[in-house]
Amino acid sequence: MNNHLKFYINGAWVDPVTPATLDVINPATEEAYTRISMGSAADVDRAVGAARAAFPAFTLTSKAERLQLLKRILEVYNERAEDIARAVSDEMGAPMAWARDAQTWAGRVHLEATIAALEGMAFESQRGSTRVVHEGIGVAALITPWNWPLNQIVCKVAPAIAAGCTVVLKPSEIAPISGIVFSEIMHAAGTPPGVYNMVNGDGPSVGQAMSGHLEVDMVSFTGSTRAGIMVAKNAADTVKRVAQELGGKSPNIILADADLESAVRKGVEGCFGNTGQSCDAPTRMLVPRALHDQALAIAKQSAEGHKVGDPQADDTVLGPVVSALQFQKIQHMIEVGIQEGATLVSGGLGRPEGLSRGYYVRPTVFGGVTPTMTIAREEIFGPVLAIIPYDTEEEAIAIANDTVYGLAAYVQSGDLAHARRVARQLRAGQVNINYPDWDTHAPFGGYKQSGNGREYADWGIHDFLEIKGIVGYGQE
């Protein structure tokens, strides 16, 4: 017996107020493999009410008590790791190796990073006669996406709990089963009733009710910029805090002194990782014009080495994209790239050869892309790379910054000091030099229309804290 048709509210699995269901589609088969219940404003009211009732006691718990809870959650998470990986593979088509080593791993390391950050945090300090206190903001509504489900769930739930908040989570209805498994983990870890609640549903029915709810103090949202704007507008009437991690069109500047072979190959891999469904993917590769043709040859060879196919096969590198809608959007963008005159280097329209079913996309590379082309400006969210030639370093920086987004940027150079100088000039919340390892203690979040606020480790905890000044606290 699973909990797919239930919500987790006030420490128990409960039925929705009004029965309504949605099929969950396996994108590798295009067939429904389970159903979830779809919530309503009434379900949100129940969940928020439980979180509000639990907040006064939970926010007064000690740091040691919250650390103990997070460590129990991590322990159970590790015990359920294979269940998480299986859920992610089924719901979003991730190859099992990727589901284990990237998706499930991400949730684990963010729990570890939050625990480490909380251990080193001080929530009170003295400034003259004033006591400065950092305390949980209250009830937090958490709305997470389908592309990195565990990463984003943990990046919100863990710091909220570390801060002493209570939460209501809405996972994506497209990839909801990993969120249900996570809710089972929270229950098994002994999370106090009402501290963590989960309601499934779509944005208009549940997300909107959460972001506009009078008893919600903060909304943390990850998703598209379009949806983020709607969340912020809906939250404005109650003047609640809104933290957002939104879209991206991240530039990857390969400088003339970089190792071109390695820089291009790793850039293709970075763009295609998670089947291109990452908001911080390096989707715009900028290369010196004199090296453009050479870069295209390297990118073509790399792209054609990415085996697309059954997520359960051991040699699969890329699975399907998550849905029919996403598949159609990517096909449209590839067609637009061709129509606007970009050079199709590899891939293109339709499924890869030999695949007649499933939302599989051909790993696609365009060359000769100009900064005004649609594929250079709009987020595609699939395995599609745009390679843009530039004449001067100053031009490359200007092209990189000429976007409404500012989530991430990448710089490749054989001279670290050179890369650092360029990194300083890029308008993005996170700049990566020479493809470093994922740093779960670095701040993550965007400039411009890529959002506001920061996630990961102590940066994430601070987003869920209010600051209180108790003036006269230190009087004799």
Q: How far apart are CA 169 and CA 404, in angstroms?
A: 29
Q: How far apart are CA 450 and CA 408, in angstroms?
A: 9
In DSSP terms, which residues pair with 134 in a beta bridge?
467
For tokens 């239930």, what's the residue? 6
Specify whether 279 is catalytic: yes
Q: Among 291, 248, 249, 286, which residue's Cα sits nearest to residue 267?
A: 286
Using CA atoms, how far residue 157 sits from 30, 109, 140, 166, 431, in Å, is 31, 14, 9, 9, 25
Kind of pairing, strands 166-170 and 218-222? unpaired
Residue 234, H or E segment: helix 225-236
Q: Are 42 and 52 in contact (CB under 8 A)?
A: no
Choosing from 112, 279, 379, 455, the catalytic residue is 279
DSSP string spanning 416-472?
Answer: HHHHHHHHHT--SSEEEESSPPP-TTS-B--SGGGEES-BSHHHHHHHTEEEEEETT
Kind of pairing, strands 218-222 and 364-367? unpaired
- DSSP at 145: -
| Helices vs strands, H then E, count in the chain | 16, 20
Amino acid making up residue 221: F
Using CA atoms, how far residue 355 sits from 31, 35, 263, 269, 322, in Å, is 15, 26, 31, 22, 16
Kind of pairing, strands 12-14 and 196-198? unpaired
Say whether 275 sits in a helix, a strand or coil.
helix
Choosing from 91, 112, 184, 245, the catalytic residue is 245
Q: Among 32, 30, 36, 44, which residue's Cα sits nearest to residue 2?
A: 36
CA angle 446, 414, 290 (to 5 degrees): 90
Catalytic residues: 245, 279
